[in-house]
Structure 1
């Protein structure tokens, strides 16, 4: 028994729609500039899996690290002037970004779970 062509088209559209709705959201990339002894003020809403690029526009080196809400620390190592370092956010929750060399540098983020945007 052959299927009606209109039914086949409807089934194909439904299948495509279902694939789009269940596809994972793509990760975003954010850029944060480091000025002399401060991070650019940002209002980003990152999710797990997103990338943050830190661009050092200062004339001095920095050494940023992230402290996740669960106590995990991720360091970006020494970042000379005019260089970029990036980090992929691995955990949801409150994250504090600081500089080992210049503790006055501080930025706080709330990282949403990957599923929060779907």
Structure 2
């Protein structure tokens, strides 16, 4: 609320805090701030206490829309089956021109491997 330019006292009774916690869970902070902004524009007296918003409308805010994922969460890619790729670590042992061996991420199945990005 302070970031939105609304400075009020938050001194209130424990039951009011419980009510606010329930409203935050159900409706969300953005809806509460939007309601407070609209209320401040239309009220004649300055609002000094957050309980004013609680009593005048926060309790009646509708539930926030929940984002529904368009696709199920993707799990790790299956093991690529390459003979040099370890199925647990998804790394390959490679050897450079000087004969130095090192482990590198498998470009086919390691979830942290650098892959090309679409433009």
Measured against the shorter chain, the TM-score band is under 0.3
Give the number of the structure whose residues are more often strand, by fraction. Answer: 1
TM-score, normalization by structure 1? 0.20
| Higher-Rg member (1/2) | 2
Give the number of the structure whose residues are more often helix, by fraction. Answer: 2
TM-score, normalization by structure 2? 0.20
Structure with more relative contact order (C-alpha pairs < 8 Å, separation 6 or more)? 1
